[in-house]
Amino acid sequence: MRIAILGGDGFVGWPTCLHLSAQGHEVHILDNLSRRWIDTELGVQSLTPMDSIQERSRIWKEVTGETIRFHLIDLSREYERLRQWLADHRPDAIVHFAEQRAAPYSMKSDRHKVYTVNNNVNATHNLLAAMVEAGLDAHLVHLGTMGVYGYSSVGAPIPEGYLDVQIDTPSGPRTQEILYPTRPGSVYHMTKSLDQILFQFYAQNDGLRITDLHQGIVWGTHTDQTRRHEQLINRFDYDGDYGTVLNRFLIQAAIDYPLTVHGTGGQTRAFIHIQDSVRCIELALRDAPARGDRVKIFNQMTETHRVRDLAQLVAKLTGAQVKFLPNPRKEADENDLIVKNDQFLALGLEPTTLAEGLLSEVVDVARKFAHRIDRTRVPAVSAWTRDIARRVERDPEGKALKSVS
Amino acid sequence: MRIAILGGDGFVGWPTCLHLSAQGHEVHILDNLSRRWIDTELGVQSLTPMDSIQERSRIWKEVTGETIRFHLIDLSREYERLRQWLADHRPDAIVHFAEQRAAPYSMKSDRHKVYTVNNNVNATHNLLAAMVEAGLDAHLVHLGTMGVYGYSSVGAPIPEGYLDVQIDTPSGPRTQEILYPTRPGSVYHMTKSLDQILFQFYAQNDGLRITDLHQGIVWGTHTDQTRRHEQLINRFDYDGDYGTVLNRFLIQAAIDYPLTVHGTGGQTRAFIHIQDSVRCIELALRDAPARGDRVKIFNQMTETHRVRDLAQLVAKLTGAQVKFLPNPRKEADENDLIVKNDQFLALGLEPTTLAEGLLSEVVDVARKFAHRIDRTRVPAVSAWTRDIARRVERDPEGKALKSVS
């Protein structure tokens, strides 16, 4: 297949490109490289030394003989170029990672909120409008997030996108299937909730074939392909905005930094290893909906864990300390989370769950590049509201928290 | 109160400004005048000769002694100016009309889809982010649409925004209140569905006090205030993109143009007279939610009618012919619609329902300005999909339709 990978220079995008290229697909990356620009803005860098996308692609060609093509296009601002590219190249499938993906970054300031909504909504909508205009019947696979469900459980396992509900009508109760009522917890997560409505409309009005993957928190760094050459290494974020929870614990352990748990650490989250993430995208691509079908939604995760349990696990493995800090997010202290992922299991996914070996691999990578870490950038400082920001500022060490717990 | 009316130069915005100014409120209009630009783009004009916003405001001052201030700001593109304006003026309430509001315009081409999403989503989100950043506790009243509900009835009357559903859980069925599952029928309607998610998030995360008015199709042209001087006259759209169904029938009747019913005319829609529309906004402003409340949602409509029944009513009143044409929209041929509007009734709304006198008044206005009508711009030509466009083009007179019915 000819596959366009939007945002193919990113953390999951790049290993996806390699995975699909290794399987013989013709891979085209469309990316505005905004993630590299944000590194510059924030004054941080990937823990791993990451080459330019052009250089990475050259190495891939050298190692495998396969070509990955790169096209510098800004989906949210260059509608006409996007449409023309789609009309010219007519990909069979499109994998869409091209959105600002960090919740803390999206809550950093009003400017970051405005950027995230503008960038993400326009990128997705431009893509949909361009597909229709180009008369393209490509299968669109979009990376969503488990965060669209919210974490105030209805008391039942979270289904894959759709929920059966009973509604009282004058002629008696009636069962109906609805999109799971969304309850996003940050501006970033909200944009993925908006995407769902865009997809629903374009599937219904224009018959676009769309799969939406509600992904959990990705951990790990290597995949089978990124291991093949040191210059194929994946990006690896450790800073308070882009670093995600399990990977951050592993990095903190590697540099003798206490594992920073926010609040009580009672938040339960869904996780997936990056190797499984790229495998899921392969499986989703094979299982395309038919024209006229509703949007297909998968939960792309393999296990759930409570944050403080993960901290304890990593502490036990590495000897690191655990430190409880005030939570900069507005969220419930504790939540349960049971998630269905039957569809990917049925398609043949064999989950890579938390194993000491894989955890150690991440710590090893972090130790190797520990000299590149700016320890001052490790704390997560983006607060969800001004009140929370003031509270964190008054008590950065979480002393009040400790006296309570 | 000091009230900012965003989009205060528009069809409902302008009479709202007059209504609130007449009640002694300090009214500020923020508008980018995009609706006037779209008239220029489409090469059509309001049936009624409409003065500049500055001139209208000058006349209002002359007639009543009240001042309406105008500020040229583009909400979707000038975030910084918007935030500064809010910080400087600190309005007590904000009424938000500032979105592209025609479904056919939003479906006209890919460019129009892209414009509508970009303009509407960014306008609303910029406003929310700016309110938070300015630390403003203003009550935000937003004009939404009945179209967010969709017209595939669940078999029960449409409630006001929220729906009680029963969900099966391992510990038995559980009742929960959710946002009514949205099913928008055009890109324009979709943007109002996206707004709902933005409101939910900002009410929850930042405690913004928000009321969302799901408005039906507005008909009529005069209100008590626009009648006070001929230069205070409201805009009145007759073209296929911005003209809405009942007003279009009345205009068509006035110029001896057949009443154009699309499809079978079996679509049932919700309606409200413009006088009631401005009254509802007044009532909503008085009934502000408290900080921390969920978004308050009203159905702003007074009656429902089937489109072909309206055509027959106008035909009977005026002697006009009724003509059935192919439907450029993708929608069900026939639908029922029962809508709850108990909240506005409880607040004291006395509905102005279809009455011959008011219908005749619209016909009289249309006759008075009939010389300003370009008859070639009356047909609705924006098709929802290419297939529909081709079908309409093959059979513009709806001959196939007639042989079926």
* Number of domains into which chain B is organized: 1
Alpha carbon B11 to its chain centroid, in Å, reads 9
How far is the CA of B47 from the CAs of B54, B208, B314, in angstroms?
A: 20, 39, 19
Residue A153 has pLDDT above 70, yes or no: no
Q: Which of A151, A188, A238, A242 is catalytic?
A: A188
User: Which residues, 6+ apart, have CB-to-CB distance to A41 below 8 Å?
Assistant: none
What is the DSSP pairing of strand B268-273 with strand B303-306?
antiparallel
Binary contact (B125, A133; C-beta < 8 A): no
**Cα distance from A279 to chain B (closest Cα, Å)?**
31
Distance CA B155, CA B293 (A): 29
What pLDDT, on a 0 to 100 scale, did the predictor assign at position A398?
83
Residue B127 sits in a domain whose CATH number is 3.40.50.720
Domain that holds residue A92: 2-404
Are the C-beta atoms of A156 and B168 separated by less than 8 Å? yes
Best of A76, A109, A151, A178 to disrupt the B interface (most B CBs within 10 Å) is A178
Q: B85 pLDDT band (50/70/90 cuts)?
A: very high
Q: Does the beta-carbon distance from A194 to B190 stay under 8 Å?
A: no
Q: Catalytic amino acids of B? A: 145, 188, 192
Tens-digit pLDDT profile for residues A80-103: 999 999 999 999 999 999 999 999
pLDDT of residue B357: 86
Out of B110, B118, B194, closest to residue A194 by CB: B194
Tokens in use for A383? 């607060």
* Number of other CB atoms surrounding residue B386 within 10 Å: 12
Cβ contacts from A onto B, under 8 A: 128
CB contact (8 A) between residue B171 and residue A193:
no
Q: Which residues, numbered 128 to 167 in chain A, qualify as contacts with chain B under a Cβ-Cβ cut-off of 8 Å?
A: 129-130, 132-133, 135, 154-156, 163-167
* Average pLDDT rounded to a whole number, residues A384-403: 86
Q: Which amino acid is at A327?
A: N
* Minimal CA separation from B159 to chain A, in Å: 12
Let me know: does A298 contact A267? Beta carbons within 8 Å.
no
CA distance linking residue A189 with residue A106, whole number of Å: 9
Q: Exposed, middle or buried by CB within 10 Å (0-12, 13-18, 19+), for A357?
A: exposed
- pLDDT tens for each residue of A292-309: 999 999 999 999 999 999
For residue B405, pLDDT beyond 80: no
Q: Under an 8 A CB cutoff, do B156 and A167 touch?
A: yes
Q: Return the exposure string of B332-355: e unless at least 16 CB atoms fall within 10 Å of the residue's CB, then b.
A: beeeebebebebbeeeebeebebe
> For an interface test with B, which of A124, A145, A165 has the most B Cβ atoms less than 10 Å from its Cβ?
A165
Give domain status of residue B80, yes or no.
yes
Across A157-185, average pLDDT: 94
Does the residue B294 lie in any domain? yes
What does the pLDDT look like over A354-376, one tens digit per residue?
988 899 999 999 999 999 999 99
Residue A404, pLDDT above cutoff 70: no
In percent, how much of chain B has pLDDT > 70?
98
Tens digit of each residue's pLDDT (9 = 90 or more) over A239-290:
999 999 999 999 999 999 999 999 999 999 999 999 999 999 999 999 999 9
Residue A262 · residue A310 · CB < 8 Å: no
The reported pLDDT for the residue numbered B152 is: 67
Residues on chain B touching A184 (C-beta within 8 angstroms) = 197, 201
What pLDDT, in 10s, does the model give residues B211-221? 999 999 999 99
d(CA A208, CA A137): 7
What does the buried/exposed string (b/e) look like for B108-131 if buried means 16 or more CB atoms within 10 Å of the residue's CB? bebebbbbbbbbbbbbbbbbbbbb
B79 close contact with A: CB closer than 8 A: yes
User: In this predicted structure, what is the pLDDT of residue B356?
Assistant: 83
* Confidence at residue A130, expressed as pLDDT on a 0 to 100 scale: 98
Q: Which of A156, A169, A386 sits opposite B168 (nearest CB)?
A: A156
Chain CA centroid to CA B388, Å: 25
The mean pLDDT value for B70-97 works out to 98
Percentage above 90 pLDDT, chain A:
94
Within-domain flag for B70:
yes
Interface of B with A in 37-56 (CB under 8 A): none
Q: Please report the residues numbered 100 through 119 in chain B whose beta carbons come closer than 8 angstroms to any beta carbon of chain A.
A: 110, 113-114, 117-118
- B56 has pLDDT over 90: yes
Q: What is the pLDDT of residue B52?
A: 98
Residue B260 pLDDT > 70: yes
A122 and B CB contact within 8 Å: yes
Q: Do the Cβ atoms of A83 and B122 come within 8 Å?
A: no
B13 in a structural domain: yes
Residues 160-219 of A with CB under 8 A from B: 163-171, 173-174, 176, 178-179, 181-184, 187, 190, 193-194, 197-198, 200-201, 205-206
Burial of A129 (0-12, 13-18, 19+ CB in 10 A): buried
Q: pLDDT band for B270, please (50, 70, 90 cuts).
A: very high
Whole-prediction pTM: 0.97
Q: Does B147 score more than 80 pLDDT?
A: yes
Whether residue A192 has pLDDT greater than 60? yes
Residue B396 binned pLDDT confidence (cut-offs 50, 70, 90): confident
In a domain, B83, yes or no: yes
CB B71 within 8 A of CB B85: yes
Residue A137 pLDDT exceeds 90: yes
Measured between CA atoms, how close is A146 to chain B, in angstroms?
Answer: 16
Mutate to test the interface with A, among B76, B80, B118, B196 (most CBs of A within 10 A): B118
CA–CA distances in Å: residue A371 to residues A63, A239, A368, B184, B372: 28, 14, 8, 53, 75
CB contacts, 8 Å: A188 with chain B: none
3-state secondary structure (DSSP) of residue A388:
helix
User: Which of A35, A144, A28 minimizes the C-alpha distance to A86?
Assistant: A28
Lowest-confidence pick of A9-13, A153-157, B75-79, B395-399: A153-157
pLDDT of residue A156: 86
Nearest Cα of chain B lies from the Cα of A98 at a distance, in angstroms, of: 17
pLDDT for A78 equals 98
Q: What are phi and psi of A69, to 5 degrees?
A: -95, 145
Q: How high is the pLDDT of residue A107?
A: 98
Domain assignment of residue B384, yes or no: no
Active site residue A40: no
Residues B175-180 have a mean pLDDT of: 95
Catalytically annotated residue among A16, A48, A145, A223: A145
**pLDDT for position A405:** 43
Residues of B in contact with A122 (CB under 8 A): 114, 117-118
pLDDT per position as a tens digit, A62-77: 999 999 999 999 999 9
